[in-house]
Chains A and B, each alone.
Chain A
Amino acid sequence: MTLMETAKEKWSGAVGTVVLGADAAAGGTRKSVVTLGGASTLPFLKFDGQTPHRPAVAMEVWDSAPEDWPAPLATALGDLVKSPVEWARTCVEKFGADLICLRLTSTHPDLANTSPQKAAETVKAVLKAISVPLIVWGCDQPDKDNQVLPVCSQAAAGERCLFGTVTEDNYKTLAVSCLADGHCLIGLSPIDINIAKQVNVLVTEMGFPLDRLVMYQTTGALGYGLEYTYSIQERGRLAALGGDRLMAVPVICMVGQEAWRTREARATEEELPGWGSEKERGLNWEIATAAALLQAGSDILVLRHPAAVAAIKTSIGQLMS
């Protein structure tokens, strides 16, 4: 027996599988779908088990142009950010995103307070512009999300989108809509494995199928709590491999959002002398955060910079080989 064979663990469970997007056969209009999860090993260990589906790379698209993204990121996207439709289309066709994460930031009451109907139109327009599955993310203001997301859910009925987010305190409204319209759901928890599981319990108790759930356990950027996310994800993967079905739910990470908030991504060379090129620093921060979280067991990485998408997709290809 080789040492690699000796090292093999006997796992009794696997991560559950979730299919995002519905093609014509499934009643939708997606040309390609994304299958998440299914791993019966710690991340990418061939000697230990199967990794049937590669982690997916999503790109963030906002329904209104972000105002305070750092220059290196803003420059890479240019005028695309002015049109969610063009932005989304380019992410798929040019940058190679496996799916799009549309964030309805403008619906926030403190911002443009966009109406549910208008948000739903954006969702429809983006769906029409892209052939891949869509994530629809609210503005994280629970009351407004409860008004906006059900309307969007209905507008996208049958497309098997991934809607987010629901929490321990606020899950019923969105779960009912997504159940009726055939979508998947993201359960949000604050870096706490027990709450993550509790959200899954609550949502499935409503009759929502487990194979349409994804967990967002809150992402910490490199240097800003990455280790908490890393350990929660490792523990979650171990629980799944140990046969805990309620924790065997794929995981989504908001890498771009967190990485581009950091000082390393934002500070100028004058502010951080000796810390290297401002142009590359944020990009590398996003890439490094994604690389680490892939090793902890992420199933969807949501990124922002096109070059980060290219680099991480290449690396995932290597990890899967």
Chain B
Amino acid sequence: MALKALDIFKLLPKTNCKKCGTPTCLAFAMKLAQKQAKLDDCPDVSAEAKALLAGAAAPPIRLVTVGTGDRKLEIGNETVMFRHDESFYHQAGIGVIVPDTLTGQELTERLAQVKALAFVRVGTRIGAGLVAVENASGRADTFVTAVQAARKVGLPLVLMAADAAVVKAALAAGCAAERPLIYAASEGNWEGMAQLAKEHNCPLAVTGADLDAVAALARKVRQAGAEELILDLGVGSLARNLEALTAARRLALKRKADGVGYPSMVCCRDADPAQNLIACCSYAAKYAGIVLTPLRAPEQILPMLTIGQNIYADPRKPIQVEAKVYSVGAVTPQSPLLVTTNFSLTYYTVESEVEASRVPAYIGVLDTEGTSVLTAFASDKLTAEKVVTLLRSEAVTKAVSHQKVIIPGYIAAMSGELLEASGWEIMVGPREASGIPKYLKTVWQGA
């Protein structure tokens, strides 16, 4: 909750002693409101004011961190129900469940598979976010062995065990400092689990038969001193879980209900791979901070990660690609050159069509401030001048040896002016990107 500077000022000592490094208490309050200072910088603030400010400043959904270092997973701190209201911030970490019944070579191979789940899509690195070792054996020693092996994957860990003693053994073996997620506190074991989470400062998942039970247990566990909690909302079927995920988000943001102000997770157990995939994708779209699954093939994990990438893209930014000359396929100086805008959806649509055509080509991208061809043309952001500048640029003259350019069908009206200004042969391409494969295969007859 963003507090206004004046509200904060009222709670400060108002002595203007400058110990906080700011000339006045009011200036300090303004910095606090903008999150440019920490309350601790004022040594004289009263305990009561501290509590008030901390309470008011606490986000409705707590930020929880699993793991440490570069690969740590941060979830929570979300502020809206719908991405179009603002943005979603911390996309779901997808974790692969590895049973501790795997040993030796099998375990090594399985972990290598998890480690290999890393991709670069749309210029961004995405990959499996967690490795979850499950105590399927029921034994502590096998669990510890598997956890020790899983630590080498370099991803944040989830310790999945029903028995606090088993979790304790794994923590004691060395992974405690890596802040694994303890999964999970239940009605039967919560005291032991909360104790471990508190002692080792580890995040803790909280389970229950339904949302009320999960929230009630979260309150108990919090009172026992565990702070970073994750609500396990895998309370039943796909439909029930999605209901619980939405309800928890709504209760935290709009009703300020107690015990639900935490990120949530689901452990997806469907034995049918397609149903498991559908469920994971649905949870990733609908508010889950962590999704655990036994699926591990790249073609299964990639769609889940891409959902996160899409749904958590900031809708306030017209997403842009860099304005430059891209090449698709094994291009030569004779390859065709197409021109489009830097609105990422436009660009990637063109790119995927060029790709689909299997005709290697260059795509010259113009900076139209992230607008589509039609919008850019209508608002003078896609002008003949810009196209000519591109054609004359070193990037283009280095890339192609011919002087033919394919322009989007929507800007056909620009052809005459372009021809005159550039001397290039202006080829009018299709209006819609979907026409590109056919165009490149039939109309484009070579340079």
Q: Which residues of A contact B (CB under 8 A)?
A: 2-4, 6-7, 9, 42, 44-48, 68, 110, 220, 222-228, 230-231, 234-235, 238, 261-264, 266-267, 274-277, 280-281, 284-285, 287-288, 291-292, 294-296, 307, 310-312, 314-315, 318-321
Q: Is B401's beta carbon under 8 Å from chain A?
A: no
Known pairs A3-B260, A275-B302. 15 more at Cβ < 8 A?
A42-B246, A48-B246, A68-B356, A220-B345, A225-B348, A231-B84, A277-B297, A280-B297, A284-B300, A285-B303, A288-B278, A291-B285, A311-B277, A314-B275, A315-B275
Residues on A with beta carbons closer than 8 Å to the beta carbon of B355: 263, 266-267
Distance in angstroms from B177 CB to nearest chain A CB is 31
Q: Which residues of B contact A227 (CB under 8 A)?
A: 83, 310-311, 313, 315
- State whether A311 and B251 are in contact (beta carbons under 8 Å apart), knowing that A3-B260, A285-B303, A292-B307 are contacts in the complex: no
Whole-angstrom CA separation of A275 from B301 in the bound complex: 9
Is the C-beta of B292 less than 8 angstroms from some C-beta in chain A? no
Contact indicator A222/B238 (Cβ below 8 Å): no
| B356 contacts A276, C-beta separation under 8 Å | no
Q: A222-B310, A319-B238 are in contact. Are A288 and B303 (CB under 8 A)?
A: yes
A320-B239 Cα distance, complex, nearest whole Å: 7
Distance in Å from the Cβ of A194 to the closest Cβ of chain B? 14
Q: Knowing A222-B310, A227-B315, A263-B352 are in contact, say whether A7-B299 is a contact too (CB < 8 A).
A: no
Whether B215 sits at the interface, judged by CB under 8 Å, is: yes
Is B447 interfacial (CB-CB < 8 Å)? no
Roughly how many angstroms separate A234 CA and B83 CA in the complex, as a whole number?
Answer: 9
Closest CB of chain A to B156's CB: distance in Å? Answer: 22
Chain A residues with CB under 8 Å of B304's CB are: 288
Interface mask (B296-324 → A, CB under 8 Å = 1, otherwise 0): 01111011101101110101000000000
B307/A321 in contact, CB under 8 A? no
A280-B297, A281-B299, A284-B299 in contact; A6/B278 too (CB < 8 A)?
Answer: no
Q: Give the Cβ gap from B131 to chain A, nearest Cβ, in Å.
A: 18
Q: What residues of B have a CB within 8 angstroms of the CB of A45 in the complex?
A: 242-243, 246
CB distance from B321 to the nearest CB of A (A): 13
Say which size band chain B's interface belongs to: 35 or more
Whole-angstrom CA separation of A253 from B309 in the bound complex: 20
Chain B: minimal CB distance from A152 (Å): 22
Contacts of A228 in B (CB 8 A): 345
16 A-B interface contacts by CB (under 8 A): A4-B211, A7-B251, A223-B306, A227-B311, A230-B311, A231-B82, A261-B356, A263-B351, A266-B355, A276-B299, A284-B299, A284-B303, A288-B281, A288-B303, A310-B274, A320-B239
Contact segment of B3-11, B21-29, B116-124:
B116-124
Closest residue of chain A to B252 (Cβ to Cβ) is A7
A238 to chain B, nearest CB (A): 7
Known: A68-B356, A227-B310, A275-B299. A295 touches B242 (CB 8 A): yes
Q: Contact check, A291 vs B116: say whether CB atoms are below 8 A apart.
A: no
Q: Which residues of B contact A312 (CB under 8 A)?
A: 278
Find out whether the CB atom of A274 lies under 8 angstroms from the CB atom of B298. yes
Residues of chain B within 8 A of A46, CB atoms compared: 239, 243
A235: chain B residues at CB < 8 Å are 82, 84
Given A6-B257, A46-B239, A261-B434, the answer on whether A230 and B285 have CB atoms closer than 8 Å is: yes
Q: CA A307 – CA B272 in complex, angstroms?
A: 13
Residue of A267, A284, A310, A320 with most partner-chain B CB within 10 A:
A284
**Docked complex Cα distance between A280 and B278 (Å):** 14
Does B331 sit at the interface, judged by CB under 8 A? Answer: no
Cβ-neighbour of B215 out of A3, A234, A264, A296 (below 8 A)? A3
Top 10 closest pairs, chain A to chain B, by CB: A276-B299, A276-B298, A288-B303, A7-B247, A311-B274, A227-B310, A281-B299, A291-B278, A225-B345, A291-B281
A318 CA to B281 CA in the complex, in Å? Answer: 15
A44, B352: Cβ atoms under 8 Å? no
Contacts of A287 in B (CB 8 A): 274, 277-278, 303
Cβ A7 vs Cβ B250 within 8 A: yes
Within the complex, the shortest CB–CB distance from B242 to chain A, in Å, comes to 6
Residue among B274, B282, B298, B345 with max Cβ neighbours from chain A (10 Å): B274
CB distance A44 to B349 under 8 Å?
no
- A311-B275 CB under 8 A given contacts A68-B437, A230-B311, A321-B237: yes
A312 to B278, CA, bound (A): 8
B152 at the interface (CB under 8 A from A): no
Given contacts A7-B247, A225-B345, contact A288 B306 (CB under 8 A): yes
Whether B116 pairs with A274 at a CB distance below 8 angstroms is yes
Question: Which A residues lie within 8 Å of B275 (CB)?
Answer: 311, 314-315, 318
For B237, the chain A residues whose CB sits under 8 A away are: 318, 321
User: Are B286 and A295 neighbours in the complex by a CB distance under 8 Å?
Assistant: yes
Q: Give the docked Cα–Cα distance between A230 and B309 (Å).
A: 13
Q: How far is the CB of B308 from chain A (nearest CB, A)?
A: 10
Q: Kindly state whether residue B255 has any CB partner on chain A within 8 Å.
A: yes
* Contact between chains at B247 and A4 (CB < 8 Å): yes
Report whether A224 and B349 are in contact in the complex, using a CB–CB cutoff of 8 Å: yes
In the bound complex, how far is the Cα of B277 from the Cα of A314, in angstroms? 13
Give min CB distance, A63 to chain B, whole Å: 17
**How near does chain B come to A138, taking the closest CB pair, in angstroms?**
14
Point out which of A231, A288, A314, A321 has the most chain B C-beta atoms below 10 A from its C-beta: A288
Q: Closest residue to A292 on the B side, CB-wise?
A: B285
- Using A235-B84, A291-B281, A311-B275 as known contacts, say yes or no to A222 and B303 having CB atoms under 8 A apart: yes
Does B212 sit within 8 A of A, measured CB to CB? yes
Q: B239-278: contact bitstring with A at CB < 8 Å (1 yes, 0 no)?
A: 1001110111011000101001000000000001011011
Minimum CB distance partner of A320 in chain B: B239
What chain B residues lie within 8 Å of A6 (beta carbons)? 251, 255, 257
Which of A224, A230, A318 sits near B352, CB closer than 8 Å? A224
- Hey, which chain A residues are within 8 Å of B248, CB to CB? 3, 7
| Cβ 8 A contact of A110, one of B303, B351, B434, B438 | B438
* Smallest CB separation, B352 vs chain A (Å): 5
Asked if B353 is at the interface (CB within 8 A of a chain A CB), the reply is yes
B218 → chain A closest CB, angstroms: 11
User: Closest CB-CB distance, A215 to chain B, in whole Å?
Assistant: 17
Chain A residues in 8 Å Cβ range of B116: 274
Q: Is the CB of B302 within 8 A of A276?
A: yes
